[in-house]
């Protein structure tokens, strides 16, 4: 039976907007102080000061910032007084839940914001846009529920994503098929009320929002918002666009692979390897082990772990955080209990959103590092005025703060 229950929470303002619509590897993680610290925007572009001296910082290029920033952003939204791109979204509604943001991540987000300001005239438009996206999404996620963890199920055609989605929900929500099954649009399932704003952010309409079967075992996944994605290798461009857009927004992802395509180059080169820094918020499950005879499942799982190690995703030799890797059969239920337990613990910690944003900040800071290291007389910096010594020190300080 297909669950068609529209899930709304009359007590949640974000849910009311939809009323009437149809219907972690348990390795070491970042400190708990990061758990709720998903950043806060202090929009003071006209009054930036050095946090140590209290004086306005000067990178030696202020006179050229407006012109260069406008050129770098290609005419995108700017602050009329400074020419700086406006990263801050609209103010949060007063009724929205506000998590308590503690220092480490908040400090790193502030440092990234300053870092972008210090290096704006040296940034190409793509790097500038990505830095802005990270700051925007940190602010957007902060305004939404900290009681929920948003996890996407992703994989290739026929990997069994939807079967796993249904197995976790306890009811057939996402359609499956015998011949080349495919999910055309993202479907969301929330185990608790109050997730409408999060689903809005993902662009999942009310008609594609469901609730799980409420029964034994459902409590361990309280706070989970699960999203079944289209195939990342779909021949339909719109499907791939859905995948890429939502993967950039969710708190964590479960990659479902099967015995035939677990070594697929697209999966490893386009997704897993570039997202190695996000291993703490990544699950990789080898599905369909019921199809493998004898000890073949262990052999395939070992080879998968080898590939993940090459990607930089596997658990480190000395216990560094890495992805959770499991073998399951969504069809027979083998391994589903272990996955539910791991996912339940991961969700109850309420730290995935902060860890995801922290990984995004790491990646962005690394992209900015060459801007400082590269000389002013080489490549795209040729002909530009170099940073003053004071500005170099400021840049180095902000980079160190952002990397954490």
Q: Span 9-34, mean pLDDT? A: 41
Same domain flag for 97 and 200:
no
pLDDT at 27 over 50: no
Give the whole-angstrom CA distance, residue 189 versus residue 183.
15
Residue with tokens 């820094």: 277
Strands 252-257 and 224-228, how do they pair?
unpaired
Query: Has residue 126 been placed in a domain?
Result: yes
**Whole-number Cα distances in Å, 103 to 28, 32, 92, 109, 116:** 20, 11, 21, 10, 20
Percent of the chain with pLDDT over 70: 62
Same domain flag for 115 and 54:
yes
Q: Span 65-71, mean pLDDT? A: 37
pLDDT at 73 over 80: no
| 338 compared with 388, residue with greater pLDDT | 338
Query: Has residue 210 been placed in a domain?
Result: yes
What is the reported pLDDT for 318?
53
Same domain flag for 156 and 135:
no
Same domain flag for 328 and 181:
yes
Give the whole-angstrom CA distance, residue 253 versus residue 293.
28
Count up the domains in the chain and report the number. 2
Same domain flag for 393 and 334:
no
What is the reported pLDDT for 124?
80
Among candidate residues 161, 115, 150, 134, the one with its CA nearest the CA of residue 369: 115
What is the reported pLDDT for 86?
34
Q: What tokens appear for 150 in the block?
A: 């948003």
Query: Has residue 366 been placed in a domain?
Result: no
Same domain flag for 93 and 123:
yes
Same domain flag for 118 and 69:
yes
Burial class (CB in 10 A: 0-12, 13-18, 19+), 229: buried
Same domain flag for 85 and 202:
no
Query: Has residue 36 been placed in a domain?
Result: no
Query: Has residue 179 been placed in a domain?
Result: yes
| Nearby residues of 378 by Cβ (< 8 Å), 6 or more positions away | none
**Total-model pTM:** 0.69
Same domain flag for 183 and 140:
no
Query: Has residue 61 been placed in a domain?
Result: yes
| 100 compared with 194, residue with greater pLDDT | 194
Same domain flag for 130 and 157:
no
pLDDT tens sequence across 206-263: 999 999 987 777 789 999 999 999 999 988 889 999 999 999 999 999 999 999 999 9
CATH number at residue 339: 3.40.50.300
Same domain flag for 92 and 155:
no
Query: Has residue 155 been placed in a domain?
Result: yes
pLDDT tens sequence across 112-162: 888 888 777 777 888 888 899 999 999 999 899 999 999 999 999 999 999
| Full residue range of the structural domain in which residue 202 is found | 149-352
Going by pLDDT thresholds of 50, 70 and 90, the confidence category of residue 184 is: confident
Query: Has residue 275 been placed in a domain?
Result: yes
Same domain flag for 111 and 184:
no
């Amino acid at each position: 039976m297909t669950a068609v229950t529209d899930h709304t929470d009359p007590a949640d303002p974000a849910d009311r907007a939809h009323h009437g619509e149809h219907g972690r590897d348990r390795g070491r993680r970042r400190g708990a102080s990061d758990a709720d610290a998903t950043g806060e925007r202090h929009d003071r572009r006209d009054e930036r000061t050095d946090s140590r001296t209290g004086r306005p910082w000067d990178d030696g290029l202020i006179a050229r910032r407006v012109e260069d920033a406008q050129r770098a952003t290609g005419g995108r939204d700017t602050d009329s007084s400074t020419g700086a791109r406006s990263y801050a979204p609209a103010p949060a509604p007063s009724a929205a839940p506000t998590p308590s943001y503690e220092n480490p991540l908040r400090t790193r987000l502030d440092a990234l914001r300053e870092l972008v300001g210090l290096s704006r005239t040296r940034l190409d438009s793509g790097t500038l846009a990505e830095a802005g996206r990270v700051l925007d999404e940190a602010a957007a996620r902060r305004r939404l529920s900290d009681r929920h963890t948003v996890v996407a199920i992703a994989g290739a055609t026929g990997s069994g994503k939807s079967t796993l989605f249904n197995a976790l929900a306890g009811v057939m929500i996402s359609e499956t098929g015998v011949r080349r099954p495919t999910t055309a649009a993202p479907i969301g399932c929330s185990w608790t009320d109050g997730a409408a704003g999060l689903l809005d952010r993902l662009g999942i309409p009310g008609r594609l929002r469901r609730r799980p079967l409420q029964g034994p075992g459902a409590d361990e996944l309280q706070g989970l918002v699960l999203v079944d994605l289209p195939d990342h290798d779909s021949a339909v461009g719109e499907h791939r666009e859905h995948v890429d857009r939502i993967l950039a927004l969710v708190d964590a992802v479960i990659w479902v692979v099967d015995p035939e395509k677990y070594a697929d180059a697209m999966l490893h080169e386009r997704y897993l390897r570039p997202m190695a820094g996000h291993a703490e918020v990544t699950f990789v499950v080898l599905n369909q082990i019921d199809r493998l005879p004898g000890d073949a499942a262990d052999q395939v799982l070992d080879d998968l772990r080898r590939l993940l190690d090459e990607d930089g995703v596997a658990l480190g030799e000395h216990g560094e955080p890495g992805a959770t890797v499991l073998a399951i059969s969504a069809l027979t239920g083998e391994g589903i209990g272990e996955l539910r337990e791991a996912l339940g613990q991961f969700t109850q910690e309420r730290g995935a959103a902060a860890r995801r944003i922290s990984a995004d900040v790491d990646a962005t800071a690394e992209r900015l590092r060459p801007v400082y290291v590269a000389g002013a007389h080489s490549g795209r910096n040729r002909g530009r005025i170099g940073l003053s010594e004071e500005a170099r020190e400021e840049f180095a300080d902000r980079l160190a703060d952002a990397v954490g």
